[in-house]
Chains A and B, each alone.
Chain A
Amino acid sequence: MDPQQLSERLTEFLQRLHNARSVQIEGLRLLTGGASRQTWSFDAVIEDADGQRRTLPLVLRSDPRPSPGLMTREVEYRLLKAAGEEGVPVPKVHAMGDDSLGMPFFLMERVEGETIPRRLLRDDIYAEARASMAAQLGAILAKIHRVPVERHGLDVLPAPPPDRAPAEAELDRYEQTYRAITPEPHPAFELAFRWLRQRLPESSRRTLVHGDYRIGNVIFGPEGARAILDWELAHIGHPMEDLGWVCVRSWRFGNDDLPVGGVGTREEFWRAYEAAGGAPVDPDRVRFWEAFGNLRWGIICIGQAKAYLDGLGRGTMPPGAQMELGSIGRRIAETEWELLKLMEKG
């Protein structure tokens, strides 16, 4: 759908939704996305029945093409709504979509701020945010893990089978993916699968898990975190999975001595997590999940390389995005290196 047509349909949708006299869409632009999943930003100037005008900064999340296996926009909407109601800083949902756009969609409010991690790590204006970020993220994560899943109808999220421990189920899932897609052998991953299997935590604890909790998915300002984004990998699982993932070295952007996103120590993150009502943190267990996080990121990199190789020279993605996808294949070695270091410690 071209922007003109999208703008017209959005206007009609918002007019009905707000019972408005008129609606104008301004500054519509594509933020991210390819052919199947898109995120658009725009301002809606709404004139209500009494002639009062107000401007709503909004974001459209839409699926021009069905993407099987990925979280539906309806579930994502429900998840953001639940998180917001439970005190997690997220963009406030504005409206669930209907058939107005001819594709699944929802609208949420646009949160202003910065998302580029290097700015947070280097720029003077974020000094205060940098100092408080690790503790803030720890406290927010505790809130995410305390979201009552059933009360919000979130039991539709992917979950490990009832009779399996989440760690084992997740490891199986990623090993199957690895075996199905890898174009090349990776002995470091073979060692890691065995190493992790010998250390599987038996805990059957289950909570909402964000699934991609890291510094690159935070909107922040000079004062600190404003919203947690990218909930598409959320699932039911073991809460320590998120605590391991947040420390994967690939999200430290060169500040290797500060494992939590290059801004803080594990200990300050864990203290804030526990103080905000998170379960007591067992460092050995988090170490399992951090190793798993490296393996998982490595397998995701293989997936991106594979997608590039499968679509070489064709496909609907612009060439620049294809090149980016292909180049991610050369990041697999970073995760192998981290896994070897972890395994050498015993």
Chain B
Amino acid sequence: MQDRPTYDELLAAVERFLDEEIVPNSEGARRFHGRVAANVIRIVRRELEREEEQLAGEWAGLDGLLGPAEQPQGRSALRDAIAARTEELCGRIRAGEADSGPFRAAVLAHLRRAVRDKLLVSNPAWLEEKTS
């Protein structure tokens, strides 16, 4: 286990440095890229906070669609296995199995959750749609 500050505490410092020192003191492309950099830090912080829970949720969702399978140990193995099972799901969609009926509804519900999880990390504001 590492000493304090934690990775999140360190990243918070980088984020503030970019937002409060680099962006206001730069112009043009550098200013814009300073904003992009601060946003990338925010994405990474949210991902580190949520990844474990989100991977477990996505695995459970794939179990529901494709049948239960043994969950691999370790985050990297789990990511690879989720990609492989998602590719399997893509194959079933291409074969027309999700064109209609209960499987379509289940696939749409699973994807809503999985894509919502991605947006909670990359751009939470996207989920708060303004409607008239």
Contacts and interface: CB of A to CB of B under 8 A. Distances in A.
Interface of A: 184-188, 190-191, 194, 198, 254-257, 320-321, 323-324, 327, 330-331, 333-334, 336-337, 340, 343-344
Contact of B90 (A190, A321, A327): A190
Nearest to B116: A337
Contacts of B40: 323, 327
Given A194-B93, A256-B131, A185 B87 contact: yes
B33 A320 contact: yes
A256 B39 CA distance: 21
Nearest to A192: B93
Interface in B107-130: 107-108, 111-112, 115-116, 118-119, 121-123, 125-127, 129-130
A336 B110 CA distance: 13
B107 A191 contact: yes
Contacts of B93: 187, 190-191, 194
Contacts of B81: none
A321 B36 CA distance: 10
B126 to A, nearest CB: 5
B30 interface: yes
A337 B83 contact: no
B78 interface: no
A344 B71 CA distance: 30
Interface centre among B36, B89, B131 (most CB of A within 10 A): B36
A151 B98 CA distance: 47
A191 B99 CA distance: 8
Contact of B115 (A324, A327, A333): A333
B29 A337 contact: no
B132 to A, nearest CB: 4
Contacts of A330: 43, 118, 121-123
Tell me the dominant secondary structure on chain A's binding face.
helix
Contacts of B29: 320-321
Contacts of B122: 330-331, 333-334
24 contacts: A184-B86, A185-B86, A185-B90, A187-B89, A187-B90, A188-B115, A190-B90, A191-B98, A194-B99, A256-B129, A257-B132, A320-B29, A321-B33, A323-B33, A323-B36, A323-B40, A324-B32, A324-B33, A327-B36, A327-B40, A330-B123, A333-B119, A333-B122, A340-B112
A117 to B, nearest CB: 14
B30 A320 contact: yes
B94 to A, nearest CB: 6
A336 B119 CA distance: 10
B2 to A, nearest CB: 26
Nearest to A324: B36
A185 B89 contact: yes
A337 B114 CA distance: 10
Q: Would you list the 8 A-B pairs with minimal beta carbon distance, nearest first?
A: A320-B33, A333-B118, A257-B132, A330-B122, A190-B93, A185-B87, A256-B130, A185-B90
Contacts of B39: 327
B111 A188 contact: yes
Contacts of A190: 90, 93-94
B37 interface: yes
B102 interface: no
A311 B55 CA distance: 28
B102 to A, nearest CB: 15
Contacts of A187: 86, 89-90, 93, 107, 111
Contacts of B111: 187-188, 191, 336, 340
Contact of B123 (A186, A194, A331): A331
Interface string B20-61: 000000000110110011011001000000000000000000
Interface string B63-97: 00000000000000000000100110110011010
B125 to A, nearest CB: 7
A337 B108 CA distance: 11
Contacts of A256: 129-131
A110 B90 CA distance: 48
Given A185-B87, A320-B36, A324-B33, 6 more contacts: A320-B30, A331-B123, A333-B119, A336-B111, A337-B116, A337-B127
Contacts of A186: 90
A254 B129 CA distance: 8
Contacts of B119: 333-334, 337
